[in-house]
Structure 1
Amino acid sequence: MATADASRRPGRLGVGVVGAGRVGAVLGAALRSAGHAVVGVSAVSAASLERAENLLPGVPVLEIPDIIERSELVLLAVPDDALPTLVEGLAQLGVWQAGQLVVHTSGRYGTSVLAPARAAGAIPLAIHPAMTFTGLSLDLGRLPDTMFGITAPAVVLPIAQALVVEMGAEPVVIEEESRALYHAALAHASNHLVTIAAQSAQLLADLGVQHPDRMLGPLMKASLENALSSGEGALTGPVARGDATTVSAHRAALEAHDAPDTRQAYLGMARATALRALERGVLSPGQGASILAALADRPAPGSPDQRPDARPPA
């Protein structure tokens, strides 16, 4: 982070934050720490107003057009699906300014979504933190370990890189056409990890385990660390061992338990694990066939294929 002398350095900007969500408030605070002046923030809900007050104290809460009018850099930190409509609506109001930096934090989009602002002469930048935020001040301490996926026209790419570096993070260039796949990779790793942890904790709680988090925490942390350091060479468990009878037992237990979403997730991830293990030679063809047979789709109970008098079509 920049020192207190940063405010006296040249090149400081007036920053407007549109959306005091978990990301916007934190990045606004990081840019402020780098010496930029946050001139306004938009906040509607009680939670966003509280974040603005805690992370951006003294910054006026303004209407979005007023923020854009005051800002040299507009930080758009709104949900992905809301971004195109917001940018287009503001263009119709005629509020975008020539030479103004317009920066969004969406992982899904590159700079094409900012075309209406660019048509008015604004400079489009996409900077997305590959990090999950809480919206609390502790997030600022995570930025030095965070990479940002950045996309911008080549001539202004150094500006996007400099903004990320000023926040203490590391920029990585993502091509415009690759943004959706980039975002899918991050969502798969982060969001689905939360779902898997929650599903496993629920199964343990259903069995009467008092503190599922204490049982799962060390295991999941070690697994993640091993996976990141050793890749798929860190894979353990019944699929990696080719233990089809254990996988079948898991399936039977999950089918007997009232947790259909967990069963579907387990079967899908186990199939993916088996296929990758086969491709990499961790499983022999015979072991792979046994595992995949244990995980194969089955007709739903009561379907024609399950009735005793069912016959194959002529």
Structure 2
Amino acid sequence: MKIGFYGAGKVAFSLGKYFKMKNIPLSGYYSQNYNSTIDASEFTSSNAYINLEDLIIESDFIFITTPDDVINEAWQRTKNYNIDGKIIAHASGSLSSHIFNEAKESGAFPLSIHPIFPFSDKYNCYKNLNKAFFTIEGNKTALDAAQSILKVCGNKTIQIDSDKKALYHLACVMSSNLVLALTSISCQYLKDIGFNESEAFSALYPLITSNIESINAKGFNRSLTGPIPRGDETTLRKHLSVICDEHKSLYLDLCRQLLSLSTEAYPEKNYKNVIDILGGGN
């Protein structure tokens, strides 16, 4: 089964190189930016297609790896050709395979396949894709093909329902993009007291990574630290006295989540005063 990519961005570069390393056959790439097509094909030792039809003819599995907001446009172009028996996939975390309307009428098998992985770079991300967990959703024939490919690659997969894609994507964003935002706030507070940006992140990095490693090894409840599980009212009040107004509601919401975990982990503790502080926001 040959995989062809419609789109030549970071995801397409990375997945193509990763599949190539795992001896999964590639046909090549088509993109409306031919320079990107050439770059991707050279990077993966595959073909660069000048027109979409040739890519479709020479591929069994067509991976639409355009930005989310143009996947439908790419699909509308793709379905104008003979796609009978082809798997049509995209790599969006938020969209389901339902975006490929009329796939059944065209004899194609729709699929969404999403690696839980941050694609921040075209040329290096493939090196760590062996660690990625993939979610898949779509037609059974397409699901079977995806599972076979990812089994060869050695990646874990889980099938999800199409109507759960938005919730699934929210979960990924909460643990990725929003963690970035939260860390940037922490760095800003350190910069406010004299750290430069490099020093701020270097200081926080061991704290962040050790916390994640602890959660991985011991779970959430056994990794709890800080003023909430201790019931440290004095520290909480100090935090609320210095935090800027625009971050206060975020701080309180996150503390309430920690409190929920803490009451579960330490049911014998009395957190009434902490609850009052968090409820009142002062």
Aligned counterpart for 2:179 among listed residues 153, 169, 193:
193
Letter in 1 for 2:223: A
- Give the drift of 1:214: 1.4
Counterpart Cα distance in 1 of 2:109 and 2:148:
15
Contact 1:43–1:52 (8 Å) recurs in 2: no
Contact 2:252–2:281 (8 Å) recurs in 1: no
2:167 aligned with 1:181, yes or no? yes
Letter in 1 for 2:257: A
Contact 1:19–1:41 (8 Å) recurs in 2: yes
Letter in 2 for 1:192: L
Q: Secondary structure of the residue that 1:117 maps to in structure 2?
A: coil
Q: 1:221 to 1:98 in 2, by over 3 A?
A: same
Counterpart Cα distance in 2 of 1:74 and 1:272:
42
Which residue of structure 2 lines up, in the alignment, with residue 277 of structure 1? 262
Q: Secondary structure of the residue that 1:39 maps to in structure 2?
A: strand
Counterpart Cα distance in 2 of 1:166 and 1:17:
19
Q: 1:187 to 1:54 in 2, by over 3 A?
A: farther
Aligned counterpart for 1:213 among listed residues 201, 206, 212:
201
Aligned counterpart for 2:237 among listed residues 248, 258, 261:
248
TM-score (norm. length: structure 2): 0.86
Which residue of structure 1 lines up, in the alignment, with residue 114 of structure 2? 128
Q: Secondary structure of the residue that 1:169 maps to in structure 2?
A: coil
Q: Secondary structure of the residue that 2:27 maps to in structure 1?
A: strand
Of 207-216 and 109-118, more deviation after overlay is shown by 109-118
Over 6 Å off, 4+ runs: none
Q: 1:54 to 1:234 in 2, by over 3 A?
A: farther
Alignment gaps of 5+ in structure 2: none
Q: Secondary structure of the residue that 2:212 maps to in structure 1?
A: helix
Which residue of structure 2 lines up, in the alignment, with residue 36 of structure 1? 25
- Give the drift of 1:212: 0.8
Cα deviations across residues 187-240 of structure 1 (Å, max 9, x unaligned)?
211122111111111111121113011110111100011112212220100011
Counterpart Cα distance in 2 of 1:242 and 1:155:
53
2:99 aligned with 1:110, yes or no? no
2:282 aligned with 1:296, yes or no? no
Aligned counterpart for 2:131 among listed residues 128, 133, 145:
145
Which residue of structure 2 lines up, in the alignment, with residue 60 of structure 1? 48
Contact 1:76–1:103 (8 Å) recurs in 2: yes
Identical aligned residues as a percent? 24
Alignment gaps of 5+ in structure 1: 1-11, 300-314
Cα deviations across residues 20-62 of structure 1 (Å, max 9, x unaligned)?
222121112223332413332315398x569626633564253
Q: Secondary structure of the residue that 1:137 maps to in structure 2?
A: coil
Aligned counterpart for 1:79 among listed residues 27, 43, 67:
67
- Give the drift of 1:173: 1.7
- Give the drift of 1:63: 4.8
Q: Secondary structure of the residue that 2:50 maps to in structure 1?
A: coil
Counterpart Cα distance in 2 of 1:235 and 1:281:
9
Aligned counterpart for 1:161 among listed residues 144, 147, 159:
147
- Give the drift of 1:77: 1.5
